[in-house]
């Protein structure tokens, strides 16, 4: 996400601008923020994890999307997660069917420029989604997947997976994704 925010917009103004734009933007409390581009490694990790989730969820009533589908977080807040999973009926904000309102799992692949936002404001907004059961942060600089799970009390519990021979356990999806697959052909730099 870029630090260049424009003046406050209504949701209708934001949606009209975002739908017509060449590049995606997110909306936080009426401030539209252009999204920055990702790296090759960022794209690899998204594709690898998305493909593994799709394979694991085949035959179930779950849908996996990557980067192109907007999620309405709450009034005045919209984001584009790197991966969104919906189990059950897909629900959209309107008849355009480009804005999800009921994700089960949201995943962000961390970048140096977005990590504090993904851990901070974005996670605060994501936690307000009643449908959200898990939020995962995936490093692109080392093998590390952090999964925050909503507890019955409403609190969030962190599980961390850091070894390439381990598997990230998505409880709400009843599946485990090997880190070796998430990081398939990903080269880490020192």
Domains with residue ranges and CATH for the chain: 38-182 (3.90.1570.10)
In the numeric block, the tokens 């993904």 are attached to 118
Which structure tokens are listed for 73? 């977080």
CB-CB neighbours of 43 under 10 Å? 16
pTM of the model: 0.92
Which structure tokens are listed for 12? 């209708």
Which structure tokens are listed for 138? 């995936």
Cα–Cα distance between 39 and 43 in angstroms, integer?
6
Whether the pLDDT of residue 86 is over 50: the answer is: yes
pLDDT in tens, 119-169: 999 999 999 999 999 999 999 999 999 999 999 999 999 999 999 999 999
Please, which pLDDT band fits residue 190 given cuts at 50, 70 and 90? low
Eight-state DSSP code of residue 107 = E
13: nearest Cα among 76, 68, 70? 76
Please answer whether residues 105 and 135 qualify as being in contact, where contact means their C-beta atoms are separated by less than 8 angstroms.
yes
């Amino acid at each position: 996400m870029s630090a260049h925010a424009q003046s406050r917009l209504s949701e209708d103004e934001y949606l009209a601008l975002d739908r017509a734009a060449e590049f995606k933007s997110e909306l936080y409390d009426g401030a539209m923020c252009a999204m920055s581009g990702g790296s090759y490694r960022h794209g690899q990790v998204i594709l690898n994890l998305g493909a593994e989730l799709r394979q694991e969820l085949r035959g179930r009533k779950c849908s996996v999307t990557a980067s192109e589908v907007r999620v309405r977080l709450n009034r005045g807040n919209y984001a584009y997660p790197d991966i969104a999973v919906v189990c059950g009926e897909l629900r959209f904000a309107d008849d355009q069917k480009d804005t999800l309102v009921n994700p089960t799992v949201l995943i962000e692949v961390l970048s140096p420029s977005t990590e504090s936002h993904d851990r901070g404001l974005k996670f605060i907004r994501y936690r307000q989604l009643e449908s959200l059961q898990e939020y995962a942060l995936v490093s692109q600089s080392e093998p590390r997947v952090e999964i925050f799970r909503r507890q019955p009390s409403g609190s969030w519990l962190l599980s961390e997976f850091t070894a390439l021979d381990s598997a990230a356990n998505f409880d709400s999806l009843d599946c485990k994704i090997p880190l070796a697959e998430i990081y398939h052909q990903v080269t880490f730099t020192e």
